[in-house]
Amino acid sequence: MLLTRAEMSFEFGGARLSPERDAELLAWMMNQFLYGEVTGIQCGHWLYDAPDLDAARFFSRQAVEEFQHVDNFVRILELLGKKPGQAHGMVRFLTSGMMPDSFEEHVCLEMAQGEGFVLLALYALIDTLDDGSAAGREIKQILQRAVKQEERHVAFGERRTIAALQTKRGLRSRLLGLSLVSMWGVRRLGAFMRDRLPKDHVVLSHLPAFLEFTQRCAETRLLRMGVLEKPLAETSAATKALALASAYALRPALELLAAPLKLLPNALNPLAPKRVTQTYLSDAQLDTRVRNARAPALARAVDEMGRIEDGEAEPAVQ
């Protein structure tokens, strides 16, 4: 990942969440995660729209992992003695209300940024959860296994966002606009938590500073991926306004222009992205694999020719 575990770890000053004392609060948190994990069904959409074998293979594995996480959070709720419940509206908006239009938006917004926010929350939970009881230990172990997989999801999102920006320079402004809105959504969710959850709690009293921290991490990730060219404080209001316009205001106009083409079959629509079923034979991964498989045979042939020239071997009879 572009940010290390240390860079994504917030200092809670030794404050602890107890699975027994804070069962209600932890269950509320788990229900937010649970909703996010169920949105793993979106992997199916992106598997169908994957631009290459690398992405298709990744999404098929990710779908399995996200549904393992669904079971993980249901198990944690069981350990807390609580039932699954509704997620907050802002969590639903952030995870399924902003369904991206393209693969590039998905890898940047949902994977690098969105799952990056989830990782920050999971790290915070792991670091503050009291594991003095059997339930605490099992919950922590479940979370530690899940973050290994989430780290891979974030890393894939970062890698493919960087690759997309190298070939589609015009993409930067739109990705920035969408990222600014998702950061705003996280601040709104934080404001809700600050207002509605107990303020005098040892862990929750750190919430305002933790929220600031999540914003700084998101900004650092945007800078390291190249979505942001300089820190937000140095980015002009005009650049931010243009980014928001290219993400939202210009979208209806572009969709209107492209609407007639959507009536055509995918293969005849010049604006439709090609599916893996149309491109797999020229896929970069397949190509590398074929070349690697051919390399030893080629090396043997060259070696044989050398030995014939040196008189150490007879040419093969044709």
235 residue type, one letter: T
Nearer to Fe ion, 150 or 158 (CB): 150
Find the shortest distance in angstroms from Cβ 26 to Fe ion: 17
CB 12 within 8 A of CB 127: yes
Burial of 85-119, coded b for 16+ CB within 10 Å and e otherwise, reads eebbebbeebbbeeebebbbbbbbbbbbbbbbbbb
Residue given tokens 């306004």 in the structure block: 241
Q: Which is nearer to Fe ion, 149 or 215 (CB)?
A: 149
CB of 112 to Fe ion, least distance (A): 11
Stretch that binds Fe ion, among 24-32, 94-102, 107-115, 304-312 (CB under 5 A): 107-115
For 292, the token pair is 């690697």
Judge contact between 199 and 190, C-beta under 8 A.
Answer: no
**Would you say 69 or 159 has its CB closer to Fe ion?**
69
Site for Fe ion in 218-237 (CB under 5 A): none
**Cβ neighbours of 220 (radius 10 Å):** 17
Piece in contact with Fe ion (CB under 5 A), picked from 44-52, 146-154, 183-191, 275-283: 146-154
Tally Cβ neighbours within 10 Å of residue 47: 17
Q: Which of 31, 69, 116, 179 binds Fe ion (CB under 5 A)?
A: 69
CB of 93 to Fe ion, least distance (A): 18
- Considering only residues 22, 52, 66, 110, which one is a binding residue for Fe ion as defined by CB under 5 A? 66
Candidates 106, 153, 160, 221: give the one binding Fe ion (CB under 5 A). 153
Lay out the site mask for Fe ion across 18-47 (x = CB under 5 A, - = otherwise): -------------------x----------
- Distance between CA atoms of residues 270 and 264, nearest Å: 9
Smallest distance from Fe ion to CB 122, Å: 9
Query: What burial class does residue 175 get, using C-beta atoms within 10 Å of its C-beta: 0-12 exposed, 13-18 middle, 19+ buried?
Result: buried
Instruction: Write down the least CB distance from residue 37 to Fe ion, Å.
Output: 5
Question: Is 158 one of the binding residues for Fe ion (CB under 5 A)?
Answer: no
Burial class of residue 309, CB neighbours in 10 A (0-12, 13-18, 19+):
exposed
For the bound state, the minimum distance from the C-beta of residue 24 to Fe ion, rounded and expressed in Å, comes to 23
CB of 69 to Fe ion, least distance (A): 4
* CA angle (254 as vertex; 277, 188 as ends), nearest 5: 95
> Which chain residues interact with Fe ion by CB under 5 A?
37, 66, 69, 115, 150, 153
